[in-house]
Amino acid sequence: MRFAVLEFPGSNCDHDCVHTLGTVLRQKVDLVWHENAALPSRTDCVVVPGGFSYGDYLRCGAVARFSPVMKAVFAHARRGGLVWGICNGFQILAESHLVPGALLRNKDLRFLCRDVYLRVERGDSAFTHAVKPGRVLRLPIAHGEGNYFCEPDTLKRLLDGRQVAFRYCDVDGHLTPESNPNGSLESIAGVLNEAGNVLGMMPHPERASEAELGGTDGLALFESALHALTTR
C-alpha cells in the first residue's frame, strides 16, 4: 500500500507519521510538499498531519485549505480514497469541509499537551475496525484549538449517520466533564465524513505507536487503515 503524508509550512508531525508508516509498518510512504498539484501515482491513503500550518494565522487550517495539494486531496476523497487528518490535519479537513464541524479554542484558552483517554465509538470504519467499539485508547493531545463544535442539525446528522468515531472519556470509558479536555461538544474527539473514507481526529496516534514512546494504542488505528486498504 502507498501512503502520502502532506507537508505544509509549520507542519511538525509529518515525519512522525512517515516513521510510523514507513519504519514501523514498512509501507511505502511519500512526503508531499503542499505546493505539489498532484499526489504520487497509486496513492491509497493521504495523511494530513499535525503542526501549525502557516503559523495558524487567521484560524487553524484556514490558509492550508487553499494549498495546491488540497485539490488533489479533494479528488482523492471523491474517488473513495482514504484521507486521515490528525490534529492540525483535522482542523484543515474541517476548514475544507471534508468533515463536518469546526475546531474552536479550548475551553480554558490554554494549549494542552498531555495524554487523554479515547473511547472508540465505531469499530467498523476503515480507521477503526481493528479495535472493538467501546475500547479505551490512551493517546496524547497537543492543541490550542481542539474544541469540537457543530450546529444542532449537523450534530443530529452525525449521530444518525454514526459519524462520531471517538469520544474523550475516563480510563473506564465513561464520559465525564473532567475527561473532556477542551470542552468539545458531546466529548467528540474524531468524526468521519458521510461516506466513511475521511477521518478527522485531534489526538495523535502516531505518537503512541511504539513501546519506546510509552504506548502502542495508536498503532491499532494505522493497522486498521492498512487492513482496510489491503482487503478492498
Strands (E), 12-111: 28-33, 45-48, 82-86, 102-104
Q: Is-catalytic flag, 87?
A: yes
Q: Looking at 87, 95, 145, 150, which residue is catalytic? A: 87
End-to-end CA distance of the chain: 11
Strand-strand pairing, 82-86 and 136-143: unpaired
Query: What's the grid cell of residue 101?
Result: 464541524
Under DSSP, the state recorded for 226 is: H
β-pairing, 82-86 vs 45-48, is: parallel
Q: Where are the alpha helices (DSSP H) in 20-142?
A: 69-78, 88-95
Task: Report how far apart, in Å, the C-alpha atoms of 147 and of each of 16, 74, 156, 187 are.
Answer: 24, 24, 18, 9
150-184 residues labelled b (16+ CB within 10 A) or e (exposed): beeebbeebeeeebbbbbbbeeeeeeeeebbbbbb
The verdict on whether 76 is a catalytic residue reads: no
Q: How far apart are CA 54 and CA 61, in angstroms?
A: 8
The rounded distance, in Å, linking the Cα atoms of 127 and 66 is: 26
Tell me the catalytic residues.
Answer: 87, 204, 206
